[in-house]
Amino acid sequence: MTDEDAASNTGAAVASAPGLTTPDEQQVLGRSLRRAATLTALAGIAFSVLFLIALYLLSTTPGPKATDAEIIEFYQSPLTRRVLLVGLYVMPFAGIAFLWFIVSMRLWIRAAIAFGRDELFSEVQLVSGILFVGLFLVSAAAISSTAAAVEFSETPIDPIEARILPGFGTTLLLVLAMRMAAIFVISSTNLARSSPQIPRWFVWSGYVVGIFLLLSVSLSPILTLVFPIWVIVMCLLLLNRARQIPHDVKVVPGVVQHRVVQATGATRDES
């Protein structure tokens, strides 16, 4: 089947959608599957890059085994404590990008999988994503709170407090936020497994990544790299498959566009 035939069949399916009376209205209300996949991928890549940059900047804080003298020296230096503050200010932009990623992913899944979508996993995906954002923002605030206090109010440096707050923030990130990331990976994988744009090997690897993040007891900062790397790989796959979708393929919520599979040639067997 050619792209023109696929687009024609897609238009016929859209025309049968309830509540759309004229061809002009159908064209306006229809969503582009290619645009939805591209938007999802770009938002996910933006989140991953910003998140990794923020983590790198926040990781410069003294560890729990640092001496009192090392901690005081660190926070007395304007350069080192301002590096932490830059990481703090970058993290909200990572959160904004991730919220955009969640919404655009849900729109893409709704467009690509009109029927057969698990509503339970869809809601779990949304809630876990929002909780993940909230937890890593609070984590960033806790890690950089001592630096902010010294920078903006000239608060005396308390080595004990300077150990506790970053430790609290790291615990939030590694123990709690990563569990919410695990639930997001598992629910997203379960939703996307019916999409022809996602190859089977990535579906199975998604379950492995999700279970690993959920059950891991490691407190190593390396653990925080797993989730953004998973997001980047998924987004690169989406960008690659999105280029194969014709520009004029439109999807209206509630209408199955099974012809898109034939138009893109992106079947499970070919992945």
pLDDT in tens, 163-222: 899 999 999 999 999 999 999 999 988 887 776 667 888 889 999 999 999 998 888 888
List 31's β-bridge partners, or say none.
251
For the chain, the average pLDDT equals 79
Domain range for residue 173? 32-260
The total number of structural domains that make up the chain: 1
pTM exceeds 0.95, yes or no: no
Please say if the pLDDT value at position 271 is more than 70. no
- Distance between CA atoms of residues 264 and 34, nearest Å: 10
CA atoms within 13 A on the CB side of 106: 18
Q: Tell me, yes or no, whether 265 lies in a domain.
A: no
- Pair of tokens at residue 131: 């909780």
Summarize the confidence of residues 118-136 as an average pLDDT: 90
Please indicate, yes or no, if residue 5 is contained in any of the structural domains.
no
- The predicted pLDDT at position 35 comes to 74
Measured in Å, how far apart are the chain's first and last C-alpha atoms? 19
In a domain, 267, yes or no: no
The C-alpha angle with vertex 99 and arms to 137 and 131, in degrees rounded to 5, equals 50
**Whole-Å CA distances, 126 to 49, 85, 98, 203:** 21, 29, 11, 19
Residue 6, in any domain of the structure: no
- In a domain, residue 16? The reply is no
